[in-house]
Every structure is written in structure tokens, then in C-alpha cells.
């Protein structure tokens, strides 16, 4: 694949912009395992993109046919391209992730489901439509674990009701938690396999309590890494992707 096309596919701008970056000496190339990248000034030079690492304006970017990233969503951010009251989580991502093309249009990575502005924790983003559907579809029953801090002391009856089933305020179909473990007097780990609107908050309200803080700690077999700080992102490894299948 021509180098300008490789950069274009990774979200570095139009082919003309990518060609300009190359011709101005801002792009160096090396294969995974090699030590030093080499500057390439030829925009139409062909490279095997698999295992290719591009150093663009001093930053290393591994070639990714599809983007799969995790983000530690901080408080007071919205999972929307057009936020209404708080900054968008997309502003926490570098421009190439926001500009990755898809079917001839710039669409960038998209959040796999949404977290409320006052919810923190693990958020996945990708430009792979099939992956997004598989992870977010209620029919796939992908488990999601939330650390829930509540206002009133938790009692055994609340745990029992959450595990048995509760009826939400505007939905006649009962829902239940796949698992519910009390952590302390005001905290529990709640596991769900579907994602209705404000589901955790509404389930907690249905058993007579109120959510004070909400944090998503795990999706499928993937836990939020302890070293990923709020607002930080990183690529998913192949091992981590396997935990989601």
C-alpha cells in the first residue's frame, strides 16, 4: 500500500495532507521489532502495512486495520459527538482516532454504548461496526460490572430483589441483575447483561435506594486497568480483545 494511503487510512487527514506530511519529512517508518525508524520522503512508496509503525511528527503509531481502544471515562463528560452540557469524551482522543475514514467518509471511532455524564470507568471505542454491534446488542448478553455507591445502607432484601427481578418505572418487563455482590454498607458490584436507559439508577431506585456514584469496572472478561487514569486511553491488545469475545 502506498505510504500516503496508509496514513490516510489511519486518520492523518486527506491524501494530500498525508502526502505533505511525508514530503516535509514528518514521517518515519519501521517494522515492529526494528529499533530506529527511517524517514521516508516518497509519498507513493509501497509498504507492507502489517506490523508497520509510523512515527508521525514525533509520535509512534502502529498500523491498525481496525481501531479498538479503551478509555477511562472521567466525570462530567458526555459520550456524544455533540454534547449538550459537558465536554465530549471524544476530545480526550487524538485527532487521528477522531478522523479515521470509513467507506469514504470521516467518521472516526465510536463509543460502544454510552455512559452518563456522572458515570466513570471503562469505555470501549472502535471503528468496527460489527464489533460495536456485538458488544452493545442486548441479544449478545455481554456482561458489564458496575461499582455502585448508594445513599442508604444496603440490606439483604435489596440484593435479593435485584437478583430476582425489579420493574422499572416506565417498563412493564422485569429486569434483573446477573450478579450482585455487596462490597460494604453503601457499595455493591452489580453485573448486568443488557443496557437500558439509566438502568442501574432505575434498578437501585426500584429497591428503595439512590445511586450516589457509578463506575463501570469491567466489560466481559476485560477489567479497567489500574494504571489507566481518568481521561487516558490506549489500544486494546489482542489478548484483551479475546477477553471480549
The contacts of residue 138 (CB under 8 Å, 6+ apart) are: 193, 194, 195
Q: 90: exposed, middle or buried (C-beta count within 10 Å: 0-12, 13-18, 19+)?
A: buried
Assess whether 189 carries a catalytic annotation. Answer: no
CB atoms inside a 10 Å sphere around CB 215: 19
Cα gap 83→63, rounded to integer Å = 30
CB atoms inside a 10 Å sphere around CB 81: 13
Which residue is catalytic, options 5, 42, 60, 116?
Answer: 116
Return the closest-CA partner of residue 45 out of 7, 91, 75. 7
- Residues designated catalytic: 116
Amino acid at each position: 500500500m502506498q505510504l500516503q494511503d496508509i496514513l490516510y487510512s489511519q486518520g492523518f487527514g486527506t491524501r494530500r495532507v498525508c502526502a505533505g506530511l511525508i514530503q516535509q519529512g514528518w514521517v518515519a517508518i519501521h517494522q515492529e521489532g526494528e529499533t530506529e525508524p527511517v524517514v521516508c520522503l516518497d509519498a507513493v512508496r509501497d509498504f507492507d502495512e502489517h506490523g508497520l509503525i509510523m512515527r508521525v511528527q514525533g509520535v509512534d503509531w502502529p498500523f491498525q486495520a481496525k481501531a479498538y481502544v479503551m478509555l477511562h471515562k472521567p466525570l462530567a463528560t458526555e459520550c456524544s459527538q455533540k454534547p449538550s452540557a459537558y465536554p465530549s469524551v471524544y476530545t480526550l482522543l487524538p485527532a487521528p482516532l477522531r478522523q479515521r475514514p470509513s467507506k469514504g467518509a470521516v467518521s472516526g471511532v465510536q463509543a460502544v454504548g454510552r455512559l452518563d455524564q456522572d458515570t466513570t470507568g471503562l469505555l470501549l471505542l472502535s471503528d468496527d461496526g460489527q464489533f460495536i454491534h456485538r458488544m452493545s446488542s442486548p441479544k449478545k448478553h455481554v456482561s458489564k460490572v458496575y461499582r455502585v455507591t448508594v445513599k442508604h445502607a444496603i440490606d439483604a432484601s435489596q440484593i435479593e430483589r435485584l437478583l430476582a427481578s425489579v420493574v422499572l418505572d416506565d417498563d412493564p418487563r422485569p429486569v434483573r441483575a446477573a450478579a450482585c455482590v455487596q462490597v460494604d454498607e453503601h457499595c455493591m458490584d452489580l453485573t448486568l447483561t443488557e443496557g437500558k436507559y439509566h438502568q442501574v439508577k432505575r434498578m437501585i431506585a426500584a429497591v428503595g435506594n439512590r445511586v450516589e456514584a457509578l463506575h463501570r469496572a469491567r466489560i466481559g472478561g476485560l477489567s479497567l486497568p489500574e494504571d489507566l487514569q481518568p481521561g487516558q486511553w490506549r489500544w486494546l491488545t489482542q489478548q484483551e480483545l479475546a477477553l471480549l469475545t
